[in-house]
Amino acid sequence: MRADFNEPAVVVHYARAAHFLGLWESERIMIQRFFTDANAPLIEAGCGAGRVTLGLLQLGYRDITAFDFASELVAQARSLLAERAPGAAKAPGAAKTPGATTRVPRAEAAPRSPESGVQSPPTIRVLRADATRLARTPAARAPGGGGYAGALFMFNGLMQIPGRENRLRALRELRAVCRAGAPLLFTTHDREHCTAAERILWRMESERWAAGRQDPRLREFGDRYFEDDTGGRTFMHLPARAEILADLSVSGWAPAHDALRNEIARESRAVRDFSDECRFWAAVAK
């Protein structure tokens, strides 16, 4: 998986979206609905090339820790933030250190400190890490642990982790670094809401699994590999709604809301070309 996401064609795909597409309207609506405190520390898993990270910054969120396990995508995210935030300065060793901090001033005026009247720039951390390293981040080390006030795992990132046990592990790790009551926002495909042609394909796939003739690269029913003309390959698990509800309940999260993207907003053609229909999920840390 790490090799797939470091492939040049895949890096270019996500970097172009980060530079030119930005937040979807549905993402903006859901983020602002569930993350109401712009000063609270947030963690973004699977940040990729920084598309959502930059979007959070532009919406006014001021304390963001974003991470990805693909070093090439992390490099793209750091470059994007430096480009879109004039005057951004990386901490010493940021180019070499997985846990580097980047302090990024917003282009518009940032809120002033009531004591000094001096602008206080947001803090954006872009890390090369995986879920097992979250406990080392600043908010996670807050007294009592679980210092993050919210978590995001956007653009179906959770579903790009092969193996249900590994997706559950990621959900539990995110819960471990979040406060009780913290919201989690993520998206998935939904194989129960698809076209008639896709339903036929899933029925045929079910028959292959029953006969033991499925693609040997796949671990579970619902797994798929998507390949494009450039040679890029993306793994994705397409769950049923009941599967996600069950996984949330056993990983420390209480489901709060879910809706298909087209029920939330009418997206631009560019967004619809970039991503198929998906389901948004919001949960709350128990």
User: Which domains can be identified in the chain, with CATH numbers?
Assistant: 2-285 (3.40.50.150)
Which is more confident, 154 or 100?
154
* Residue 130 one-letter amino acid: D
* The predicted structure's pLDDT at residue 172: 96
* The predicted structure's pLDDT at residue 100: 43
Percentage of the residues of the chain whose pLDDT score is greater than 70 = 80
Q: Is residue 142 exposed (0-12), middle (13-18) or buried (19+ Cβ within 10 Å)?
A: middle
* The predicted structure's pLDDT at residue 133: 61
* Residue 200 one-letter amino acid: I
* The predicted structure's pLDDT at residue 130: 60
* The predicted structure's pLDDT at residue 105: 35
* The predicted structure's pLDDT at residue 108: 35
Would you say residue 93 has pLDDT above 60?
Answer: no
Would you say residue 260 has pLDDT above 70?
Answer: yes
